[in-house]
Amino acid sequence: MTLTFLNLVFVSGILVGLIQGSIDEYKEQYSGDVILTTLPTKNYITESQRIVSFTESLDEVEALSARYIEGATLEANYKTKSRASDKADSVGVNVVGIDPDKENELGDLSSALLKGEYLRKGDESGIIIGHYLLSQYSNVDFPGQGTLDDVEVGDKIRLIVGDIRKEMTVRGIVKSKVDEVSIRAFVNDSLLRKIIQRDDYNVDEIAIRISDPEEAQQVKQTLINADFDKNAIIQTSNESLGDFLEDIINTFSMLGAFFGSIGLVVASITIFIVVFINAITRRKYIGIMKGIGISSLAIEISYVIQSLIYAIVGSALGAVIVYRFAIPFFERNPINFPFSDGILVAPVDETVIKVALIILATIIAGYLPAKMVSRENTLNAILGR
């Protein structure tokens, strides 16, 4: 019964945890709990500084990062080309201007460094690059996305934004399973602001982390009530992801329930056999009990109780294994999938439903064989005929 419980919880929990891990990383490293992005009709978030000041004043807000984003080109072989007609080793990229301290406070970007060092505030010649932009570190091909060849920490590359060209030094290489991090390049916001001549300090993204993630919807509504939805698209992290990942989670939950139900059927058959053999070997005693006036129903209930003990004790032991050991273990040691760090997801309400299914199946599996044996002719049972 313990293994049946674990089968029901683990299969769906790992499948859902595969996607949930991806969602958690997206929230931790990129979007925060609430994210503001540019309206379709605008080039940036208008009145950005007023929004930032208001948001930072909210008690619920723990960290905030305001980002400048601009389409750019990174070029690696501009010094070694022998002729101007030679093909450039270049890649189109969204370059992001950040306050390194605030970005690190929000998403701990420095912990995602594969090589090199994190940006220092005020460093206007340094750049960190997502690993998907470098051929030697990328094993994923994005449509229309090229890569730079043989670029390492300390190398010089050229940043081209419009007509502006600036030589940059690669300070670090970021490796993340969040695409919004791994296909971007990051520079200090002061530099990018100068390049794009954004003197009004209006930004393109504002990511907000909340001390209690459950209050994300409340903070979003507070911003809407302040009429900031006229300046930006305001979404919780889950809303910014859309329905795609949520649909995958629901699909994986259904698959987990299907595979787990097979184990539930096997457990029910096992309980049926155990109770049946138990009752058959005690036919004589059952006949004697019926002979002295104990009803068949009482005997059947006693075997149902026996089955319930199997189910309850087995499920309780399984719950201890899952919540005391398995979930903490996977949180400390997530499964390294290519696109996420998988965890074990086992919501208590869903687990209660699964325990109820185990108990229901066990009651039926225990009652049927007990009824078959207890309804046998009393005299035949006593005499073993």
pLDDT of 376 higher than 70: no
The reported pLDDT for the residue numbered 51 is 95
Most confident of 7-16, 143-152, 348-357, 369-378: 348-357
User: Tell me: the pLDDT tens digits for 211-231?
Assistant: 998 999 999 999 999 999 999
Partners of 134 in the beta sheet? 148
- Tell me: pLDDT of 95 over 90: yes
Report, as an integer, the average pLDDT of 349-361: 86
Residue of 154, 106, 104 lying closest to 129 (CA atoms):
154
At 186, is the secondary structure helix, strand, or coil? strand
Is the Cβ–Cβ distance between 17 and 346 less than 8 Å? no
- Is the pLDDT confidence value at 191 over 80? yes
Task: Identify each DSSP E strand in the chain by its residue range.
Answer: 34-38, 61-75, 90-98, 113-116, 126-130, 156-161, 164-174, 184-188, 205-210, 232-236, 335-336, 341-342
> Residue 108, SS3?
coil
Mean pLDDT of 12-22: 81
Q: What is the pLDDT of residue 276?
A: 77
pLDDT at 380: 62
DSSP string, 24-93: HHHIIIIIBSEEEEE-TT-SS-TTHHHHHHHHHTSTTEEEEEEEEEEEEEEES-TTT-SSTTSPP-EEEE
Q: Is the confidence at residue 385, as pLDDT, over 60?
A: no
Q: How many helical (H) and strand (E) elements, i.e. helices and strands, does the chain have?
A: 13, 12
Statement: the pTM of the whole predicted model exceeds 0.95: no
Please give the DSSP secondary-structure letter assigned to residue 375: T
Question: 270-321: per-residue pLDDT in tens?
Answer: 888 887 787 777 777 777 777 777 787 887 888 888 888 988 999 999 999 9
Give me the helices (H) in 132-187, please.
Answer: 179-182
Q: Which of 193, 131, 194, 129 is nearest to 158 (CA)?
A: 129
Domains of the chain, by residue range, sit at: 2-13+245-383, 40-230
Select the more confidently predicted residue: 180 or 67: 67
